[in-house]
Chain A
Amino acid sequence: MNMAARGSAEVGSLGSVQFGGADVGGVAGAVGQVVVVAVLVAWLVVTVLFALPRVGDPIGQRLPAWCLSLIPSWSFFAPNPPRDDRVLLYRDVFGGQGAGPFREVWSSAAGSDLFKGRTEKAVTDSIGELLVRSRVSAGQDGQDGRKPTDPLQGMQAAQVMVSTPYVQLLNRVAAAPHDPRTQAVQFVIVATDHGEESPKVLFISATHRLDAEPPARTVPEPPRARVGTC
């Protein structure tokens, strides 16, 4: 495409339709330009601040959600790139008759799907945020002696179970294929390293009755840190 070459002639002809030429002259125009420059410079400054390790999160928590979504996050695959797969597994629980085997929500055979990018990214985002919330609720990465896979208790469990990523994953697990005898479901998040090490369990959910409604919130969550982008 060589639109640059025909640029001048085109703009001349476009001027006749009086579109794309809504320039305002005089003081109003100057004030308008100053306002636009101020907004765009502020947008750039916030973009830079948002990328700084200790500054970004507090800014993210102060900005309203609609504004936060317009601030780009440019730290692709850094500083901690994904180097293992976080797999969402679930199993059916049959009341007093035990439980079925763990199964993947999305089978490995679907890995070649050219267009599945957003689904996979949403799951990765949900899992990443759930793991962070779980660690925070449990006392900063198990500093209280708790292992990451120990069941959460009391308020800790409640905080995690009403969080958006937990409900999002539980919602998807509930819609996966189930044995007719199933009364409840449980999901786990496992890290796999392509056969180099044995899979590592990162999170175990509570067991949820399958016919129950997902936990409903009555109080909106406070603004949360934005989900990382790739």
Chain B
Amino acid sequence: MLTAAVAAREVLAIGGLGLAVSAARDLRVRHEYAPSGVLTYAVEASGRDSNAALLWLSTWEHYRVALAVQFAAGAAAPVVALAAPTPAAAVAALLLAACAVLTLQRSSYGLDGADQMFALAMISCTAALVAGERYGRLFLYFLAAQLILSYLIAGIAKLVSPVWRDGTCLAGILSTKAYSSPRLAALLRRHRTFALGMAWSVMLFEVTFIAVPFLAPVLDGTVMLAGLVCGVLFHLGISVTMRLHTFVFAFTGAYPALLYAMDNPPM
């Protein structure tokens, strides 16, 4: 049976690696964090009441240290999670949780769903590693619930959208510079049925993912496995076509929490 400590270590290993990728990406565009860059904290700080510690940490000379720590701790996370004693794993998780939360607190510009899932995952795995099974399981249930909600809310939001239902949205999204995949966009424009199938497969996957934990005990392990494999392929596909690389780590990194919740049902 999967324990909270082991599930937390798996979350740390996958999520940590994703945070290292995220930090490398951010450090590479460091000029945009300068006072004249679009990711500078100086402009946003003038518009809100921030506490002194956040202001101090958010200036580039300090934030770059946080990014370097995030990169180092994230790159080491798989090894630490696999082999290090729990205190070392807990320290790595705590550092990564602090960095992930700082990213969210620093600015609301430039954030995406992966940043939010990283923060939830690292908070949850830190709690599980520090506080033990009794409290840790609560945080893992929470992370599993957020994972299910992420798919369900995204799926419902797409179902109410006419451009998702008629299948025209994907070609449009994949034509933009930010998510550019011109060949696939052209293919989707030429083959409307294919585009419709792709859009509906995304929506159906997202709204039915919630069934995975509930059907798994009734059916057999293959349902659960199929659901999770679909999820991994879904995120890999998004990574290849839309260059949202950190989403793979952020969302599949939360899968161990779902496995734990199915292995140790709350009720």
- Interfacial residues, chain A to chain B (CB-CB below 8 A): 1, 3-4, 6-8, 10-11, 14, 17, 19-24, 29, 32-33, 36-37, 40, 43-44, 47-48, 51, 65-66, 69-70, 72-85, 108, 111, 114-126, 163-165, 167-169, 171-172, 174-175, 194, 214, 216-217, 220-221, 223, 226-227, 229-230
Question: Could you tell me if A220 and B154 are in contact, using CB atoms closer than 8 angstroms?
Answer: no
13 A-B contacts, Cβ less than 8 Å apart?
A10-B6, A17-B87, A19-B129, A24-B134, A36-B138, A40-B142, A47-B149, A78-B157, A83-B173, A111-B180, A117-B245, A194-B175, A229-B111
Nearest opposing residue in chain A for B44, CB measure: A164
Q: Which residue of A lies closest to B160 (CB)?
A: A79
Q: Quick one: which of B40, B131, B243 contacts A23, CB cutoff 8 A?
A: B131
A227 near B133 (CB under 8 angstroms)?
no
- CB-CB under 8 A from A117, the residues of chain B are 25, 112, 243-246
B46 touches A216 (CB 8 A): yes
Known A19-B85, A21-B132, A33-B138; further 16 A-B contacts with Cβ < 8 A: A3-B82, A10-B6, A19-B130, A20-B131, A36-B135, A48-B149, A74-B153, A80-B163, A81-B169, A83-B173, A115-B28, A117-B25, A117-B244, A118-B32, A171-B35, A229-B111
Tell whether B208 is near chain A: CB-to-CB under 8 Å.
no
B119 on interface, CB distance cutoff 8 Å = yes
Give which listed residue, B26, B104, B243, contacts A114 with CB less than 8 A: B243
Residues of A within 8 A of B134 (CB): 23-24, 29, 33
Least Cβ–Cβ distance between A158 and chain B, in angstroms:
14
| Chain B, range 67-122, C-beta contacts under 8 Å to A | 78, 81-82, 85-87, 90, 101, 104-105, 107-113, 115-117, 119-120
Residue of A24, A77, A108 with most partner-chain B CB within 10 A:
A77
Whether the pair B153, A51 counts as a contact (CB closer than 8 A) is: yes
A125 to B39, CA, bound (A): 11
A31 to chain B, nearest CB (A): 12
B129 — nearest CB in chain A belongs to which residue? A20
Q: How far is the CB of A187 from chain B (nearest CB, A)?
A: 12
Of listed A40, A44, A169, residue having the most chain B CB within 10 A: A40
CA distance A220 to B107 in the complex (A): 15
In the complex, what's the smallest C-beta–C-beta distance from A213 to chain B, in angstroms? 11
Q: Which residues of B contact A81 (CB under 8 A)?
A: 161, 163-164, 169, 172-173
A19-B86, A22-B130, A40-B139 as given contacts; A214 in contact with B43, CB under 8 Å: yes
Interface range for B: 35 or more
Contacts of A164 in B (CB 8 A): 43-44, 47
Residues of A close to B132: CB separation below 8 A: 20-23
| A141 CB, nearest partner CB in chain B, Å | 19
Tell me if B59 is interfacial: C-beta within 8 Å of chain A: no
Which of B5, B82, B117, B164 makes the CB contact (< 8 A) with A1?
B82
Q: Which residues of the partner chain A approach B2 to less than 8 Å between Cβ atoms? A: 4, 7
Q: Is the CB of A14 within 8 A of B104?
A: no
How many angstroms between the C-alpha atoms of A120 and B35 in the bound complex? 17
User: CA of A116 to CA of B179 in the docked complex: distance in angstroms?
Assistant: 11
Set of chain B residues within 8 Å of A76, measured between Cβ atoms: 113, 154, 157
Shortest Cβ distance from A16 into B: residue: B85
Interface readout for B147-190 with A: 1 if CB under 8 Å, 0 if not?
00111011001101101100001001101111110000000000
